Structure 1
Amino acid sequence: MFGIIKDWRQQRILEQSQFTDADWQLVAKQIPILERLTEAELAHLFELATLFLHDKSFTGAQGFTITDNVKQTIALQACLPILNIGLDSYDGWTSIIVYPRAFKSESTVTDEYGIVHQKNQSRSGEAWQRGPVILSWDDVEHAGNRDGHNVVIHEFVHKLDMLNGRANGFPPMQPDMDPARWTETMARGFEDFQQHPKSGLDRYGATNPAEFFTVLSEVFFETPDKLIAAYPEIYEIMVKFFRQSPLQA
């Protein structure tokens, strides 16, 4: 029964959406990484993005105005990682906050001597566990250009990682995946990346396993050839995790 009700509810949302297929097509054409999708995949992405916008709320920070283009641009890229996983992956939170440009974020770090330090860093995005996703529009505008950097994918993959707790590079696996293989493959790759930079892979990924996962996810969707050249086994397990094969498009 619940499945039927859910399908009916979603169908009503899709039918009553203010955005037409032509509206979505117009925005999608501004995001080069979506060009690899088939017509059927793109149609499915439009539906996911429509449902996503119905469930999430957008707030502009520091006077930033949330326009339809802003919402659609973020929604399309946020839904790309879950294209074949499902919108339920983003349950449990609702808010997306958009700054006009990079924003300051305070964090607390404890060093090896137990001394607590306050850090004030400039960020292009953040994802909070059971909280909002925060994005810099200046960085979102330049996402999706096949350069291996995508702040939207980065932060929303953090959300996938957080589905089983704090982000640690070990998200809930798909039913047909081997968690032990994921752990071994990612740990080996992370250890190597800390010592040996790879062309096309942002060094920010060497920060910790969670950032390694999200940075490589950006590359997986934007420049998959760079990932398979550096870490073919990681590309393979990401194909199974995201249920997509960007290199075969």
Structure 2
Amino acid sequence: MANFLARLISGNRRERALRKHAIDHTLWQNTLDRLPFFGHLDDAERARLRECTTLFIAEKEFSTAHDLTLTDAMIVAIAVQACLPVLNLSLELYRGWVGVIVYPGEFVIRKTVEDEAGVVHEIEHDASGEAWEGGPVVLSWEDAQMTGGVDAYNVVIHEFAHKIDMLNGEADGHPPLFRRWHAPLDSNAWNNVFDHAYDHFCAQVDAVPARRWGRFERDSLIDPYAADHPSEFFAVCSEALFVQPVAFEQEYPELYRLLARYYRQDPAGVGALDSPGQH
């Protein structure tokens, strides 16, 4: 009886949230029209995405900085992109925090870091997005609108991939694997593919002569920034999976299949989920 009542209360809360935060149909359609990488979803998947987006908006608190006016269009655009990676997983992957802070453009991040010699440095740099462990996601609205699909860039997907990666501790490019969604994929299988791909990419970046760096940066599907850390490689490749899936699968087929199995989506439509234990 207790379990039944808990499910009933949870169901009632869900229905109230869906009614209270219902997304206007025209706004929803206009948002999807501006985001071409949602084209692989069928009608049923889009309906689930709309519900997921609505619940995300109900659960999170959006705010702005530097006098930026927060609009429904901004909220829906960010929320729908955040929900795409968890569409076939669960919003539970975004549990434990509530804030989404939107800046007009790039913002300054100040950090304290310790080098290999144990010396502590205060550093600052410009950023288009930041995900804090246990805290908010911070985004540049200017960058969040760079979603034309001409390259693999998507700051929203990038930062929310970090949030997923942080579920089992500090972001390290090895996100949690859940038996109910990911079996038979396990940590050994993940490490074999992901770590090899990361090492290979870093070697590629290191081998680029300085005189050719600009061209490499322009032509590389994966932003060279991904070589900074395994967590950045995971986030940048997550962008590529959803925004440029065909090119990503052609250039990195094994890595594409790994991430497709993780997110339980095959946006390139190559049958990446057609293996035992994948549904």
**Superposition TM-score, scaled by structure 2 size:** 0.85
Of 40, 54, 60 in structure 2, the residue corresponding to residue 36 of structure 1 is: 40
1:245 aligned counterpart, secondary structure? coil
- Aligned residues of 2:22 and 2:54 also touching (Cα < 8 A): no
For 2:149 and 2:47, how far apart are their aligned partners in 1?
Answer: 21
2:161 pairs with 1:153: no
For 1:115 and 1:226, how far apart are their aligned partners in 2?
Answer: 42
Of 80, 86, 89 in structure 2, the residue corresponding to residue 82 of structure 1 is: 86
Determine which structure has more spread, i.e. the larger CA radius of gyration: 2
> Which of 228-237 and 125-134 deviates more?
228-237
Q: Show the counterpart of 1:3.
A: 7
1:46 aligned counterpart, secondary structure? helix
- Aligned residues of 1:97 and 1:135 also touching (Cα < 8 A): yes
Of 122, 126, 134 in structure 2, the residue corresponding to residue 122 of structure 1 is: 126
Q: Show the counterpart of 1:164.
A: 168
For 2:178 and 2:124, how far apart are their aligned partners in 1?
Answer: 37
Of 95, 102, 125 in structure 2, the residue corresponding to residue 98 of structure 1 is: 102
> Which of 15-24 and 185-194 deviates more?
15-24
Structure 1 stretches of at least 4 aligned residues deviating more than 6 Å after TM superposition: none
Aligned letter for 2:50? F
2:85 aligned counterpart, secondary structure? coil
Task: Report % sequence identity.
Answer: 41
Compared CA separation, residues 9 and 146, structure 1 to 2 (3 A):
farther
Q: Show the counterpart of 1:180.
A: 188
2:262 pairs with 1:241: yes
For 1:141 and 1:32, how far apart are their aligned partners in 2?
Answer: 12
Aligned letter for 1:145? G
> Which of 95-104 and 5-14 deviates more?
5-14
> Which of 46-55 and 141-150 deviates more?
141-150
Q: Show the counterpart of 1:136.
A: 140
> Cα distance, 1:225 vs. partner?
2.4
Q: Show the counterpart of 2:228.
A: 207
The alignment yields a C-alpha RMSD, in angstroms, of 1.5
Structure 1: runs of 5 or more not aligned: none
For 1:199 and 1:98, how far apart are their aligned partners in 2?
Answer: 28
- Aligned residues of 1:21 and 1:46 also touching (Cα < 8 A): no
For 1:245 and 1:18, how far apart are their aligned partners in 2?
Answer: 28
**What do residues 41-71 of structure 1 show as CA deviations (whole Å, max 9, x unaligned)?**
1111110010000010011101111100010
How many residue pairs align between the two structures? 249
